[in-house]
Amino acid sequence: MTTVTSPIAGRAIGLAAVPDPVFSGAMVGPGTAIDPVREPSEAVAPVDGVIVSLHPHAFVVVDSEGHGVLTHLGIDTVQLNGEGFELLVNKGDTVARGQSIVRWNPAVVEEAGKSPVCPIVALEATADSLSDLQEDGDTKAGDVLFTWR
């Protein structure tokens, strides 16, 4: 069983509220989303594991059970070409839950005309494999978002 914690502070809104049909339709996988606080911050690892994919706007950490968790910082932020994002680790690094991965500023993302909403997705999971899913309320980095069985 894997406990997935929030990589950022903000308000949980659930995947259905993400302004992107691929995420809102859970096509990437089930999970939730966070509308982040609008201040410079660091997105942190939601689980202990290895960074298997790393981009300025998104990263995937795979835990010891083989569960991959995608954190996507904003919607269509790939179009920003890394501007406003700073990578703090490297692909292949082993990270601990809560370790800083990317420094970013959601307000800058919003000013660039993109949504700062952040999907946190359980890759290759089924909706019924997740429990205790947080889809509303304020959340801090490190708060539990869901449990993956």
Active site positions, annotated:
72
- In three-state form (DSSP H/G/I as H, E/B as E, the rest C), the secondary structure along 85-149 is EEECCCCCCEECCCCEEEEECHHHHHHCCCECCEEEEEECCCHHHEECCCCCEEECCCCEEEEEC
Q: How many Cα atoms within 13 Å fall on the side-chain side of residue 75?
A: 18
Supply φ then ψ for residue 59, to 5 degrees: -150, 155
Distance CA 50, CA 56 (A): 17
CATH code for the part of the protein at 2-148:
2.70.70.10
Per-residue pLDDT averaged across 53-76, rounded?
97
Q: Given 3-state DSSP classes, what are the helix, strand and coil percentages for the chain, each rounded to the nearest 5?
A: 15, 40, 45
Residue 28 has pLDDT above 90, yes or no: yes
Q: For residue 40, what pLDDT band results from cuts at 50, 70 and 90?
A: very high
Q: What percent of the chain has pLDDT over 70?
A: 100
Q: For residue 83, what pLDDT band results from cuts at 50, 70 and 90?
A: confident
Per-residue pLDDT averaged across 10-15, rounded?
97
Q: Give residue limits of the domains in the chain.
A: 2-148
- pLDDT at site 125: 95
